[in-house]
Structure 1
């Protein structure tokens, strides 16, 4: 690899990493316009493993906006990002696949989470004239912790 190719790869890796961070922030902040803007025009998302839907990004963004309304506090922690660049139309580096683990605490009210889940994302990204965009997101929820049932205090 030449130094120029290595520098381009580092720039692409940082751009794709930033795209994944922007995804988490958009979902956590409920910024559905920003969320839609992270995808290609034909982008799709699949949240079925977490009890959601699969479809084109506009439909999924509307579903997320409605479903997550009950959780005003959300914080996606996306870690262990594995980025692989692919080949599109005989040019290297125009596609990327990212696998990343996540932990997502959410709360209906107050600082303590009512619900915590975790799993792995599979992101597909495409280099466009506007920069890197998501062409697909698949959520693979692995675990979920619901709040413990509250018992009435014992009064002596």
Structure 2
């Protein structure tokens, strides 16, 4: 590889990492416009392994906006990111896949938060994401997100 290709690959990896981090922040902050903006127009999301829905990003974002009201406190952690860029004979292509683990502690609405203070989470889910991305004119965008929930815990 040349230095130019190496630099392009590093820049792609950083941009992809920013999209994945942006995904977590958008979900945690309930910023559904930012969530939608992370996807291509044909983007799809699959939350079925976590008891959710699968479908086009706009439909899933609307579902999330309603569902996440149950969890006013959430902190989405996405770790162990494995980024695989399409390889075009030594040069990066226009698609990528990311495998990443998640830990998602949340607080159920009304569960001790009546005092107005932030309280510890009482619901935790964890598993692995599969992100698919494409390079677009606006930069890297998600084409598909699939959640593979491995476990969850509800403290009562």
Q: TM-score normalised to the size of structure 2?
A: 0.90
The runs of 4+ residues in structure 1 deviating greater than 4 Å are none
Q: Deviations over 1:6-53 (max 9, x none)?
A: 000000000000000000000000000000000000000000000000
Which segment is superposed worse, 94-103 or 109-118?
Answer: 109-118
Offset of residue 111 of structure 1: 1.7
Where does the alignment leave 5 or more consecutive residues of structure 1 unmatched?
A: 149-156
Where does the alignment leave 5 or more consecutive residues of structure 2 unmatched?
A: none
Corresponding residue for residue 48 of structure 2: 48
Corresponding residue for residue 78 of structure 2: 78
Cα distance in structure 1, aligned partners of 2:123 and 2:93: 38
Aligned to 1:99, what secondary structure does the other structure show? strand
**Residue-pair matches, total:** 146
Corresponding residue for residue 113 of structure 1: 121
Aligned to 1:121, what secondary structure does the other structure show? strand
Q: Which protein has the larger Cα radius of gyration, Structure 1 or Structure 2?
A: 1
Aligned to 2:65, what secondary structure does the other structure show? helix
Q: TM-score normalised to the size of structure 1?
A: 0.90
Cα distance in structure 1, aligned partners of 2:80 and 2:39: 22
Bigger RCO (CA 8 Å, 6+ sep): 2
Corresponding residue for residue 38 of structure 2: 38
Cα distance in structure 1, aligned partners of 2:125 and 2:154: 9
Corresponding residue for residue 145 of structure 1: 153
